[in-house]
Amino acid sequence: MSDQPAYESRFFTSHDGLRLHVRDYGPRETSALPVVCLAGLSRNSGDFDAVAQSLANGSAGKPRRVVALDYRGRGLSDYDRSWTNYDIMVENRDILDALTATGVHEAVFLGTSRGGLHTMVLTATRPSLIRAAILNDIGPVIEQKGLARIRGYVGKLPQPRSIADAVDLFRTMMSAHFTNLSEQEWETYARLTFEEKDGKLVPRYDPGLGKTLEQIDVEAPLPTLWPQFEGLRNVPVLVIRGENSDLFSTATMDEMARRHPAMETYTVAGQGHAPLLLDEASINRISAFVAGVDPA
């Protein structure tokens, strides 16, 4: 078995001079629509490796290109000197820079949590990019309980001594919401979250991200994104929800379906916010949706 990654690491310069990273999977020249993967708040492009490899290898009918971005301060992208730039609109411009650098002019967007927010915001900043959207455990309404839980750990994780220690940490934090993960899935999640630097395991993100959440009053009503969601009304949409999610409610998903009658939904049993997209059933559901939006 080859140790070579299934993707090409590509770097580009953002509008304000940071070196940012994307994983680029699959063929460049193909009639299949590319898929652009956008991760959650503190997550990175590695979260999509399983689904990206599957799509690149033809699970959605034909091999296709998949581009997964590391936002600034995550993964292999540069950290920003100012945590205030870990901002939706700054990152949204980074996404546009990434797509210009990779030559992607239209795509299916797969956005997990914050990545889904970015997808909805793109309907205002560059609507022509979006041929279809997959929103993974996110909608126009964010539940305060879930946001408060996330604020409690982003940038504040204790330092594990080993990957096994990290797995134990995540089981303690997450097992109430993720009730049926395999041992391999727990380990994969731990390895996607931490990397070794100078003999220590550290998060694959800038701890300064936590400061962005500290500015939010989780007791006050949060702004909604219904106008941005309405921007998806003319494209196919698949909404994925974790059965145990505390950030994305069934009530919000039902209202989204009312406003977008052609919207498809899929619930991942035994998982919370946000589904990891590592299991075969979720990957197959995504592949079937993507195959259905390819040009005739």
234's tokens: 């003319």
Residue 3 has what pLDDT?
61
pTM: 0.96
Residue 296 has what pLDDT?
67
Residue 1 has what pLDDT?
41
The pLDDT profile of the chain, 296 residues, written as one tens digit per residue, is 456 779 999 999 999 999 999 999 999 999 999 999 999 999 999 999 999 999 999 999 999 999 999 999 999 999 999 999 999 999 999 999 999 999 999 999 999 999 999 999 999 999 999 999 999 999 999 999 999 999 988 988 899 999 999 999 999 999 999 999 999 999 999 999 999 998 899 999 999 999 999 988 888 888 999 999 999 999 999 999 999 999 999 999 999 999 998 999 999 999 999 999 999 999 999 999 999 999 86
Cα–Cα dist 35/201, whole Å: 31
Residue 45 has what pLDDT?
98
Dihedral-angle region of residue 194 (phi above 0 means left; psi in -120 to 50 means alpha; beta otherwise):
beta
Entry field: residues in the chain: 296
CATH fold group of domain 7-155+205-292? Rossmann fold (3.40.50)
Query: Domain limits of the chain?
Result: 7-155+205-292
The alpha-helical segments, DSSP class H, found in the chain are 49-56, 88-102, 114-125, 144-151, 163-174, 183-193, 209-214, 226-230, 250-259, 280-292
- Look at strands 237-242 and 130-136 and give their pairing: parallel
Which value, to the nearest 10 degrees, does the dihedral of the CA atoms of residues 144, 147, 153, 156 take? -100
All residues at 6 or more sequence positions from 178 whose CB lies less than 8 Å from its CB, including other chains: 244, 270, 271, 272, 276
Given a contact cutoff of 8 angstroms between Cβ atoms, the answer to whether 66 and 84 are in contact is: no
Q: Which of 205, 185, 182 is nearest to 193 (CA)?
A: 205
